Amino acid sequence: MRYRRYKQTPQYGVGLIEVVVGVAVVVIVLLGLVGAYVTFVRTARHNTELLKATYLLQEGIEAVRIIRDNGWSNIDALANTTTYYLAFDEGTWVATTTPEVIGSFTRSILLSEVRRNNATFDIEPTGNLDDRSRALSVTVSWESTDGPRAETLEAYITKFIEA
């Protein structure tokens, strides 16, 4: 039995196609890596901004506690539902109506009345006015790459020391 031998015809350009496919795979992988890098950098920037805002929120709560500790009259002098800003003046914290910008952040505070149930002393919206407590809302706002952002932290300030 005789087998026929087929003559292989040269396949010109196959190597070029392999190179083009290989380059395309490398380009796709590199684009994916660049996209992941951009996402990681953006996330890191947002996390850094959020971390700074969180520190400013905590510092705002502590600053109002210092104002309270310097005398409850400092808290009583602040009007409810008026936006105040915190400033460090002559060695202590003060509340002012002039906006204070910290880097790219603006921190504001808002005090409001507290009402309590006289029987249980629980905070209730329809209870009796508690002149020894104030609700505190600290807000930090800033301009992010994605637009304006703000974070808020709420607490209660209580007159617990008779002066």
- Tens digit of pLDDT per residue, the chain (163 long)? 666 666 666 667 778 888 899 999 999 999 999 999 998 988 888 899 999 999 999 999 999 999 999 999 999 999 998 999 999 988 999 999 999 999 999 999 999 999 998 888 888 888 899 989 999 999 999 998 889 999 999 999 999 876 5
β-pairing, 147-158 vs 128-144, is: antiparallel
Dist. CA 78–CA 112, nearest whole Å: 10
**What pTM, to 2 d.p., does this model score?**
0.76
Dist. CA 75–CA 71, nearest whole Å: 8
Q: Classify residue 123 by its DSSP letter.
A: B
Q: Classify residue 84 by its DSSP letter.
A: E
